[in-house]
Amino acid sequence: MNTKKMAANAILIAVGAILHLITPSFLGMQCDFSLAMLFIIIVFNKDYKTTLVCGIIVGIFAAYTSKLGGMAIVPNIVDKLITCNVMYLILLPLRNNISKINQIALLLPLGTLVSGTIFLTVLMMLSGLPGGMSFEALFISVVMPTMVINTILGLAIFKTVEKIATMNGTYVIE
């Protein structure tokens, strides 16, 4: 991986961490905009090693910027680790067949659903769900709205990143 790619990925991860940090919570849970950044990184970087490393880093940053405190550390790391692998495998056969905008349009909603499901499952198994709410209630009240918001915001951010990345006619981070 070259220095330009590493710097671009680091900026995307930092923006995702900042968005995660400033996002308000609902019953201790919050939208995870760092996922959108992770999916943008997966689309622009075709290699598995980058996906895996960025997934782990995003998981660590999400864990330590979560409004749930210490009980969210393991679920965030596990969720991002599994989600980045699943999304990479889903995208692998499609990379050469569909455009980048369609790739991100697939990853954003699907990946957010996968991530939210894994996060809630691991949290429920390790420490229980916040506010005594059920899995279904949190899925409907937090994961589903996050899916919609991540998709809309993620597409806008993707178009911005793509425009910046192609200013000289070639992808800087591809």
Q: What is the pLDDT of residues 86-100, one digit of tens each?
A: 999 999 999 999 999
* Per-residue confidence band for 51, with pLDDT thresholds at 50, 70 and 90: very high
Q: What percent of the chain has pLDDT over 70?
A: 91
Q: Would you say 133 and 27 are in contact if contact means Cβ atoms under 8 Å apart?
A: yes
pLDDT number for residue 89: 97
| The model's pTM | 0.89
The encoded tokens of residue 144 equal 């589903």
Among left, alpha and beta (phi > 0; psi -120 to 50; other), residue 33 is alpha
The encoded tokens of residue 25 equal 């919570």
Kindly state whether residue 123 falls inside one of the protein's structural domains: yes
Number of structural domains (the chain) is: 1
Kindly state whether residue 93 falls inside one of the protein's structural domains: yes
pLDDT number for residue 29: 61
* Per-residue confidence band for 30, with pLDDT thresholds at 50, 70 and 90: low
Kindly state whether residue 135 falls inside one of the protein's structural domains: yes
Does position 80 have pLDDT exceeding 90, yes or no?
A: yes
The encoded tokens of residue 49 equal 């090693």
The tens digit of pLDDT for each residue in 133-155 reads: 899 999 998 899 889 988 998 99
Kindly state whether residue 171 falls inside one of the protein's structural domains: no
Q: Which residue has the higher pLDDT, 166 or 160?
A: 160
Q: What CATH number should be reported for the domain holding residue 52?
A: 1.10.1760.20
Kindly state whether residue 35 falls inside one of the protein's structural domains: yes
Residue 54 lies in domain: 3-165
Kindly state whether residue 174 falls inside one of the protein's structural domains: no
Kindly state whether residue 170 falls inside one of the protein's structural domains: no
Kindly state whether residue 173 falls inside one of the protein's structural domains: no
